[in-house]
Structure 1
């Protein structure tokens, strides 16, 4: 009975993590470039009271043995990098990646971070930056007299300057791809950094080497599906309730044992 208390407690903690992950997904349903997370679990080790194949007589053996599980533990919270829906904005600096890949931006400490959020802006010097002011890598600076910006599917950036009649190419957007994007470390603010698990970035021109193409005037919305998240939320809540009932039942059984002396 004491074992069942601890076992049920691991179930409650696991379902709490499940609800935490689902809550984060729901909170970011409208976050540009957000990728949903999935909590994953595994059963704990088992207490073996009798091994399968143990002799039960001179001519028979136990066909299954006796193994009692000790609960559950979280093993991973995995990012799911499926494509989110596109939303047309009409903003020339909004860019979405159709397919695999990440934009590269430079953090204040000099590190390179990666993002799917293509809602870019201009800073005071005309540099293309994120909403937090991080410069796009390679750095692209628009001339002060720019009247029109064009970003091709292959990442070429061209501008039309005042008094000119033809577009001039001023830069090239490159995107990075990872063998294991789920191994990236989330920094928040739609940013990731590479790890030994993700592998080194494979930087390429959009549309080459398996990377996606760019779509100007669009942003990629979150890939969270509310129907799925609400279903997972209800499932987690019911599992949490069931685990708590197991604790109550075990407690009542212990109380019964304690009352035997009366």
Structure 2
């Protein structure tokens, strides 16, 4: 009886976790560049059930089968499908259109491919590169940028946008503190003036955004405010995009959240109904144990 109680309780915890993920998706449905999460559940490790010396003539145990003891919310996987691109006509709004291909892989809408041997291949994704308050490199898809008082390009939370040279992007007229507000961005992320001439950086080289390619976006960890970090940076898995990567920077556009509002509402109601079903089972086991203690025990 207690095993059933624990199984139902674990189901309630898993559905609560799923409900939290879905509500977070819905609350960020208007957040630029937000990637929806998907809760993955799995059963607890199996237990082998055996009958030990079921009869006088049986010298050992006999295997009966396997049993699961419940379910657990294993992880929250981000869905990195491309969101809709919305035109804003704001020169400081940028959107990344990423369709990086891997030879021999035919990715589905979720960015996943499974080959004939069962090997899973995840589609690489491109990200803007910013620095957090501690100066650490982070990745973002929220391209709603602006200029601060010193002419540095920052995101909506004040994080500095990093250039290809690894330094903050500063858009000021040479030798002055006058911000450059009339500029263009090429498809590769290079800054030019209205005449198409490259705007030089502090080192004299053409200034460009640092667009980072992440080989496996599932290795990214959410930090909040639209920022991601690599779970194991020492293992690599990131590099700058090159000319062969199908990545395009669009100025005057924003990438909308890829959350499907209708499907999210269905998932939320499904989690709620499953939670209530497990709750009823907990109440049933509670009443059964109450009878066993207060009535049967009295007899």
Q: Report the Cα distance in structure 1 between the residues aligned to 2:179 and 2:73, rounded to whole angstroms.
A: 55
Consecutive unaligned residues of structure 2, counting only runs of 5 or more, are 99-124, 200-206
Q: Report the Cα distance in structure 2 between the residues aligned to 1:36 and 1:116, rounded to whole angstroms.
A: 13
- TM-score by structure 2 length? 0.76
Pairing 1:95-244 to 2, within 5 Å after superposition? 95-99=94-98, 100-138=125-163, 139-142=168-171, 143=173, 144=178, 146=180, 148-160=182-194, 166-170=195-199, 171-196=207-232, 199-205=236-242, 208-244=243-279
Which of the residues 259, 263, 288 maps onto 1:253?
A: 288
Q: Report the Cα distance in structure 2 between the residues aligned to 1:199 and 1:209, rounded to whole angstroms.
A: 20
Offset of residue 209 of structure 1? 4.1
Offset of residue 167 of structure 1? 4.0
Consecutive unaligned residues of structure 1, counting only runs of 5 or more, are 161-165
| SS of match in other structure, 1:108 | coil
Q: Report the Cα distance in structure 2 between the residues aligned to 1:108 and 1:19, rounded to whole angstroms.
A: 31
After superposition, the CA RMSD in angstroms is: 2.4
CA 1:226–1:253: 2 relative to 1, 3 Å: same
CA deviation string 1:27-72 (max 9, x = no partner): 1000011111111111113444337xx99x99xxx9x934332111
2:115 corresponds to: none
Q: Report the Cα distance in structure 1 between the residues aligned to 2:44 and 2:179, rounded to whole angstroms.
A: 64
1:90 corresponds to: 89
1:23 corresponds to: 23
CA deviation string 1:171-221 (max 9, x = no partner): 11231011111111211111111221784421124xx34351111110111
